[in-house]
Amino acid sequence: MKIKRSHYILTLGATIVFAAFEIVFVQGCAPTNAVAAKTGVQLWGENCQRCHNTPSPSTFSPEQWETVGMHMQTRALITQDEKNKIVDFLKTVH
Ligand code: HEC
């Protein structure tokens, strides 16, 4: 009896710990509303001048910006959604 009870408590404890981790990790990956609400121009200003001067939107054609976006997404470690917003901004201002 004693063993069974402690086993039950252990299992319960492990379940609670696991659930807590899951909440932290799953929610940790979801972008906050504040980030999701950012516009292309904001994301561009915040992400695209960390390593070099931000090239002006008129520097490249819309097609070239698509390619630049693909390359710089991996460098800037931004999401697909953020990259799309930035590239859309660069193409429309062009
Ligand atoms: C982690 C550093 C880093 C970040 C952040 C970054 N870049 Fe770059 N970028 C580079 C490096 C290094 C090069 C040159 C080598 C290459 O082309 O891969 C470059 C080259 C470029 C070029 C080509 C410039 C030319 O005259 O040929 C453009 C355009 C550019 N980046 C745009 C962007 C945009 C837009 C963003 C934001 C989404 C961005 N970069 C974010 C590192 C970065």
Instruction: Give the pLDDT of residue 69.
Output: 97
The answer to whether the beta carbons of residues 9 and 15 sit under 8 Å apart is: no
Predicted model pTM: 0.74
CA distance 78 to 3: 50
**Ligand 1 pocket by C-beta < 6 Å: which residues?**
47-48, 50-52, 55, 68, 71-72, 75-76, 86
Q: For residue 40, what are the contacts with CB-CB under 8 A and spacing of at least 6?
A: 85, 86, 87, 88, 89, 90
Nearest CA to ligand 1 atom 2: 51
SS3 label, residue 74:
helix
- Shortest-distance atom of ligand 1 to CA 75: 1
- Per residue in 4-39, pLDDT tens? 776 666 676 666 666 665 655 555 566 667 778 899
Please state at what angle helix 62-76 crosses helix 80-93, rounded to 10 degrees. Answer: 150
